[in-house]
Chains A and B, each alone.
Chain A
Amino acid sequence: MGSTSTKIKLRTSDQKVFEVEKAVAVQSQTIKYIYENGCPDSVIHVHSVSGDILSKILDYCKKHVNSAAGKEDISPEELYEWDANFVKVDQNTLFDLILAANCLKIESLLDLTCQTVANMIKGKRPEEIRTTFNIKNDYTIEAEEAVRRENKWAFDMLGGVGTMVIEELADDTMSKCVTNTKSRVCVIAANQIVMMRSISKLANKKSIDVYKQPQNPTTPRIKESVKQRNVGTGFIELFFHFKCKM
């Protein structure tokens, strides 16, 4: 048997044995180290990984080894898509994959899975993050306040910019405004209550918070600094900073 078809046996925590090609198994730096420094013939125990997870990981390693070696005709874009589908799993599986990739030291898989979690966190407030991942808030009230105070700038700005539409606009122009804005807040002029309902559905889809401008525009909620930017659709977006709690 040539060295290219050397097989390595891996035994998982639930006593399942997998036999894989050496080239695939050594994607894991941990397995590589054990193989090169231990007994190459006996079985390598991967106690921290279950059979299901190891099976998925071996799929990943195989795909990447084959594509790098040119054994599989797959373009970088197709591999990227394959990776994206690979991580479309439930949370528990995802975290098991992260733990296993960390333990087995498979850098590219760790990068991929951590990035997936990061994408799930981005743009969420702490309460939302806790709900998504079922994390217990172990901060005391004072400790949490201290964190927020120390980093006031991040917690104070609600989305950072608000959009206020001040003109009398037709429904479709208003929808265009909501569709195209990058803001997370939209404030409708007090006299355009009728618009609120029709665009709030659209705003919900984009996770934009819709507020009705208070009758008295100089309430402490809206800071004075206002910048005007002409967005070319015949109306003007005004940018405010909202001093609201995040």
Chain B
Amino acid sequence: MEHLPVEVIGNILSRLEGARDVVIASATCRKWREAYRKHLHTLAFNSNDWPAYCDISPILLEILITRTIFQTTGLQGLSILMDDAGEFTASTVIAWLMYTRETLRRLFYNVPTSPNVNILAICGRQKLEILAVAHNSVTGVEPNFQRFPCLKSLSLSHVSISALDLSLLLTACPKLESLELVDPEIAISDAQVTVELSSPTLKNIYVEAISLDKFILETDSIERLHLRDCALEVFELIGKGTLKYFKIDDVSVIHLDIAETVDNLEVIDVSSFTIIWTKFYQMISRSSKLRKLRLWDVTFDDYDEGIDLETIAVCFPQLNHLSLCYELRDGLMHYGLQGSSNLENVTVLELGWTVINDFFSHWVEELLKRCPNLKKIIIFGVISEAKSHEECQILAKFTSSIVRLMRKYMHVEVQFEYE
């Protein structure tokens, strides 16, 4: 240990991350103290790590954070994530950002400031690679003066920003690869709430809790798109067929258009959604490279005949993971099981029920027949709190039929997950 150079000690202390742990460790010996003062590159004040931060008053917290940061030199990563800590004063936060400006590469900050500080305007921009800001307000973005030449990952949570500023911000980040938008407060200028974002370099996009009339994304490099808990009238994705992973979860969209981008899709994951199968299928029919399809907790339009396995088998020959969970009505099931094409490459099957009925075991049986190379099946079930006698009976019947069924498929691993 004595032979380790002081920079390496600094590297080790940086991996402790939590400021309290780093400060305590620095009292071990003088070399460690020097490592802390001159060679520390990452420091974090996270209330998840040490809940006692929230028991200290904001004023005292500001003082201890200031004193700790100012003992270091050349900090590259700073994280101040305190849930329920109150507010910090603007001048103190500005001091922290200015002190670390020259060297900072990663900044995570989620405490509201009073009065509001435009973090993006003050933090060091030259070297910043990862920026995650929450409970803040962004105004007056000027891409000519405020560029983030190295920024790869941007996350804005509960941030108030105008649609225009948001799109200008993306143009100020020429290397941006990952964007996360959670519950933004989009200031509207017209009657329609429209957000149009364009970035040639974005690869991952995650959007949560956004409610807009129109949301248009233009990205030539996009690989992953995940929308969650959104209410959109129109969602349009314009791209060059680079999308590989598409996930929507508890989203309501009236007009969804990703048609041009589906050629290379490998994963489609849709949950808590109302599908008009024919329309949806038309949209994804060109995804011949699809490997995983998940339709979970989906409901079909009343007039819809539902999913049919024949189409899935024929159009997605490379499918190896299929997950289905929807209410099985008699008509739906019989329509779905028409045809005889097998799902040759499916090795993992996940089937779930939301309300158990007698059709389910029959459906499992039919699907097992159609997947000759299956290795694993996982059954997901929901058991209601008030377990009626009838429900218990159906569950018992289901259990026996599965036991009988799996005897014919001894090579298939079966797992159950109930909630």
Contact = CB atoms under 8 A, between A and B. Distances in A.
Contact of A102 (B5, B31, B55): B5
Given A126-B28, A130-B29, A160-B51, 6 more contacts: A123-B21, A135-B2, A135-B28, A137-B28, A151-B67, A225-B55
28 contacts: A95-B1, A95-B3, A95-B4, A98-B4, A99-B3, A102-B5, A114-B11, A114-B15, A117-B15, A118-B12, A118-B13, A118-B16, A121-B25, A122-B21, A123-B21, A126-B27, A135-B32, A138-B31, A147-B33, A150-B67, A151-B64, A151-B67, A151-B68, A153-B20, A154-B24, A155-B23, A160-B50, A182-B51
B29 A121 contact: no
Interface in A90-143: 91, 95, 98-99, 102, 110, 114-115, 117-118, 121-126, 129-130, 133-139, 143
A74 interface: no
Nearest to B53: A160
Nearest to A135: B29
A144 interface: yes
B354 interface: no
Which 4 A-B pairs have CB atoms at the shortest separation, nearest pair first? A160-B52, A118-B15, A154-B23, A126-B27
Nearest to A140: B30
Contacts of A227: 55
B56 interface: yes
Given A118-B13, A161-B51, A130 B28 contact: yes
Interface residues of B, number: 36
Contacts of A144: 27
A49 to B, nearest CB: 13
B373 interface: no
Given A118-B16, A161-B51, A161-B52, A98 B27 contact: no
Contacts of A98: 4, 8
A68 interface: no
B345 interface: no
A34 interface: no
Contact of A139 (B12, B30, B51, B56): B30
A151 B71 CA distance: 10
Given A95-B1, A102-B5, A133-B1, A115 B15 contact: yes
Contacts of B55: 160-161, 225, 227, 239, 241
Interface in A5-48: none
A148 interface: yes
Given A98-B4, A114-B8, A114-B11, A153 B29 contact: no
Interface residues of A, number: 43
A155 B68 CA distance: 13
A118 B42 CA distance: 13
A246 B20 CA distance: 12
Given A121-B21, A153-B64, A160-B51, A147 B12 contact: no
A143 B30 CA distance: 9
Nearest to A127: B28
A157 interface: yes
A97 to B, nearest CB: 11
Given A98-B8, A153-B56, A126 B30 contact: no
Contacts of A153: 20, 56, 60, 64
B3 A155 contact: no
Interface in A134-180: 134-139, 143-144, 147-148, 150-151, 153-155, 157, 160-161
A11 to B, nearest CB: 21
A228 B13 CA distance: 35
A121 B12 contact: yes
Contacts of A133: 1
Interface in A207-225: 225
Interface string B53-87: 00110001000100110010000000000000000
B52 A157 contact: yes
B26 interface: yes
B80 to A, nearest CB: 15
Contacts of B23: 151, 154-155
Interface string B359-373: 000000000000000
B8 A137 contact: no
Given A114-B11, A118-B16, A239-B55, A155 B24 contact: yes
A144 B33 CA distance: 10
Contacts of B13: 118
Nearest to B18: A122
A184 B55 CA distance: 16
